[in-house]
Structure 1
Amino acid sequence: MSEILRLFDQPVDRTKSNSTKWLKYQGKDILPMWVADSDFRVPDAITQALHQHVEHGVFGYGSVPESLSELLVERMATLYHWQIKPEWIVYLPGLVCGLNLAVRACTEPHQTVVSPRPIYPKFFTAAKYASRPLAYSPVTLQQGRWLMDLDATEVPADSKLLLFCNPLNPGGTVYTRQELEALHHFAKKHDLYVCSDEIHCDLLLNENARHIPFASLNEDAAQRSITLIAPSKTFNIAGLGASMAIIPSFELRRRFNRTRAGIVPEVNVLAYTAAEAAYRDCQPWLDQQLQYLRQHRDRLMTAINGMPGLKLHPIEATYLAWIDASGLPVANPHAFFEDAGIGFSPGADFGHAGFVRMNFGCTSQTLELAISRMKHAIDSIG
C-alpha cells in the first residue's frame, strides 16, 4: 500500500504546467474534475525514455517504430485475445481525429451516422463537422448498467456508420460478449460500419471484468470495424498525442488513410517514445493505479449514494463517475456544483442535462475535498 500511496497520493502542482484541466479555473477556488486526464505522475519508465530521447538533442521527422507495433500486437493478444497484424495499425496524433476520419471515410455526405446518447461529446461533433445527419441510440439503465438500447434505436435507411464506446464514456460499462454479439447482429442487420472507441480498455475497475474488442468477435465484425485505442488515458500521456486505429479491412483502411492524407499530421517522435515505454515497461504501474482507482470508486459509491438527490450506479471501468443529479431541486446541476467549488463536466454536453461527470483520477485529498464540498452544497439546499 505504501508504494501505491507514493505513486498516486502525492500531489503534483499542475497549475503552472500549461494544463488545460487546471487552467480552466485558474485564480478560482474550484477543483477541476472535468476533462479526462488524471493528476498522477507518469511511470518512471516513460519519463526516463523521454529524457534519453531529449538528451539526444535532435527532433527530426520520425517513422513508426517497428518495435512499437510488435508490442501492440503482443498486447492485444495477451490481454484481449485478439490476433492483429502490424499492417492493420494506423498511427494517429490523437483519438478524436480518428472519430472524425471514421465518419468521413465510412460515409458519404447524405449518409447518417448513428451514435449513442449520452456519450462523449466528440461523437456528436464528428458528425456535425462532416455535415453528416446524426441519429441516436439511447443509452439507458438496464439492470444497473448503462447500455445502448438497440431495440429502441431507429436507424434511417441511409445510415452507414455506428459509433460505439466500450468501456462506455460516460457510465463506465464494460460490454459483455453477449452484449457485443447483439451489437454485431444490429450492425450486420443494418449494414453498418462500426467505429469502436476503446481508449479506456485498460482501466477496468471490476477485477472480474474482461474487455473484449468488438472486432475480435468474428471475421464479419472485424471487416466492418475501426477500433480506436491509445495509451493516453491509461498512462496519463494524452498531451503527447499517440493513438492507434486498428482496421483489419484492407479497403476500409485504404479509405481511412486516403481521408487523412495531407490533413492529419504524423505522430511526433516523443509520443512514439512514450507509447513504446508505456506498453513495454509499465504494466506493474498500471496494476497499482487500478488498485488506487478502485478505492476511489468505492469511496464515491458510498459517499454519493448517501447524499439526497444524487445517484451513482456501479462503475465497471474508467476513472469517470456519471452522477445522476436529476433529483436535486436545481435547474443546472453543473452550475450548482461549480458555485460550490467543484468543476465537473456538464451532463448536457453528453446529452443529459440532469447529470454531471466527475473525474476521480486524482489524489485522495482532492477526492475528499470534492466530496466535502458536494455534501455541504446539498446540505445548504435544505
Structure 2
Amino acid sequence: MFDFDKEIDRSNTMSLKWDKYKGRDVLPMWVADTDFLSPPGVIEALTQRVAHGIFGYSRPSPRLIELIINRLADRYGWHIEPEWLVFLPGVVPGLNLACRAWTAPGRGVITPKPVYYPFLQAPGFNERPLLTVPMQEVAGRWVLDLDELELQASGADLLLLCHPHNPGGTVFTRDELAAIDAIAARHNLVVCSDEIHCDLILDPDARHIPYGALSEEAAQRSAVMMAPSKTFNIAGLCCSFAVIPNERLRLKLQQAMRGISADVNLLGFVAAEAAYESGEAWLDAQLDYLRGNLALIEQTVARWPGVRLARHQATYLAWLDVTALGLGDPIAFFEQAGVGLSPGAQFGDGQCVRLNFGCPRARLQQALARMEQAMLAHLG
C-alpha cells in the first residue's frame, strides 16, 4: 500500500539534506529527515488548504488539540488537559526557551553527552553554564551516568533530557526514568524532555513512557516536547508542542516566548492534524520498513572490524563508533568514499558518526557498500 522503496528525486527542491552535496557523488545520510513521501492524508490535506489560496496567521484547531489528547491517552496512557498544551515552531526553539524561562542567571543547564547538538548549544545561547553528564554503555545500551548527574545537579536549575536518546537510540525504561526523576526531585530540577522521536520505537520489547506520565510529582516539575515532524516526515512545516502540567512553569515559558518565538504556521497545523487523524497505517508500515533497514545495518556492521553499534531501540539514526579504525577525520574519510554522515564531534564524540537510515533500502545498501569498501582499503 505504501512504497518506501520508491526513489524520490529531491534535487532542486531546496532540500538542506540534498543540497549539501550538490554536484558531488556523495549519498546524503545525515540530517534527520527521511526520503519517504509523507502520508497520503497529509499530502491531500495540504493540497486542499493550498487551493484555498489564503495563508494568514493561524491557530490550532479544536480537532488537533483533541487528536493530541486522545493520542497521548491511547498510545501512552497519559491523560492530559487542553490547557497544558503550548504550541511551538519546533523543539529546538523549545530547548532554548526552556533555558531562558526556567533557569536563573549563573545556574547551570545539564545535558547528556553525546547528544543532539542543540542541547549543547542552548545553554550558551542563553548565557547559562553548560553542565554535561556522560552517556555510558551498560549491557549494550546507552544510559545516563546517574552518579555524575547527582554531582552536577546541585549547580543546576534545568535538565534537558533526550528521550528516546538521539543519537544513541535508547528508549529509557520506567526504572531509569524514575532514577533520573529522584535526582531531579532532590535538587529541585525542572526536566525538559525532548520526546520528538517517541513514535519511532523499533525495538519490539521497548515501550516509550512520557516523562510527565511517570507520576504526578514528575509531571509538576517537567515539560514534555513532542512533534509529528520526525514521525511523518513533515519537519520543514515546523509544528511542535510542549505538554506542561504545572501552571507556573507554563506561564514562565509563555512569557519567555513573547516577542521571540514565532507562531506555528498554518500549513504546519494542517499537516499535524492530518497526520494524527489518518497517518497510523502509514506509520506502522514505515516502522516495519525501518526495522528492515536497521536489521541490514546490524548484519553489515557485525562484519566490520573496529566498528561498533550499541543496541538500537528507536529513531532512524544509527550511532556508529569508529574509534578502532584510527581515522583522523571520520567524516572526511566517509565523504571521500561517497557517503555523507553527521559528524560525531557535533554531538560530543568525534570518533563516532551518525547514519540516517530513513531512506529506500537500495540507497542504504549502496551507502553501506561504499563505507565497507573504504574501510577494507584503509585496513589493508
TM-score category (smaller protein): over 0.9
- Measure, in 1, the Cα distance between the counterparts of 2:57 and 2:21: 36
RMSD between aligned residues: 0.9
1:314 partnered with 2:311:
yes
- Give how far 1:139 is off: 0.3
1:284 partnered with 2:316:
no
- Measure, in 2, the Cα distance between the counterparts of 1:370 and 1:62: 41
- Among residues 107, 113, 136, which one is paired with 2:103 in the alignment? 107
Contact 2:108 2:157 in 1 (8 A): yes
- Give how far 1:109 is off: 1.9
- Measure, in 1, the Cα distance between the counterparts of 2:327 and 2:279: 44
- Give how far 1:345 is off: 0.4
- Give how far 1:321 is off: 0.2
List per-residue Cα deviations over 1:55-110 (Å, max 9, x = no partner).
11111111221110110000000001101111100001111100000111110221
In the alignment, what sits opposite 2:121?
A: 125
Matches within 5 A, 1:161-180: 161-180=158-177
Q: 1:317 to 1:347 in 2, by over 3 A?
A: same
In the alignment, what sits opposite 1:228?
A: 225
1:89 partnered with 2:88:
no
In the alignment, what sits opposite 2:53?
A: 57
List per-residue Cα deviations over 1:223-265 (Å, max 9, x = no partner).
1101110000000000000000111000000000000011111
- Give how far 1:122 is off: 0.2
- Measure, in 2, the Cα distance between the counterparts of 1:295 and 1:64: 36
Contact 1:73 1:86 in 2 (8 A): yes
- Measure, in 1, the Cα distance between the counterparts of 2:60 and 2:369: 47
Stretches of structure 1 lacking an aligned partner (at least 5 in a row): none
1:194 partnered with 2:194:
no
List per-residue Cα deviations over 1:156-193 (Å, max 9, x = no partner).
53310001011100111001111111011111112100
- Measure, in 2, the Cα distance between the counterparts of 1:341 and 1:167: 29
Matches within 5 A, 1:1-382: 3-4=1-2, 6=3, 8-153=4-149, 154-155=151-152, 157-381=154-378, 382=380
- Measure, in 1, the Cα distance between the counterparts of 2:49 and 2:326: 54
List per-residue Cα deviations over 1:298-322 (Å, max 9, x = no partner).
1101101211111112210000000
List per-residue Cα deviations over 1:98-125 (Å, max 9, x = no partner).
0000111110221100110000000011
Contact 1:88 1:246 in 2 (8 A): yes
List per-residue Cα deviations over 1:20-50 (Å, max 9, x = no partner).
0001111111111111000000011000000
What is the SS of the residue equivalent to 1:327?
Answer: helix
Identity of aligned residues (%): 49
- Measure, in 2, the Cα distance between the counterparts of 1:142 and 1:151: 14
What TM-score do the two structures reach when normalised by structure 2? 0.98
Stretches of structure 2 lacking an aligned partner (at least 5 in a row): none
- Measure, in 1, the Cα distance between the counterparts of 2:27 and 2:335: 9
What is the SS of the residue equivalent to 2:170?
Answer: coil
Contact 1:301 1:314 in 2 (8 A): no
- Give how far 1:143 is off: 0.5
Contact 2:153 2:183 in 1 (8 A): no
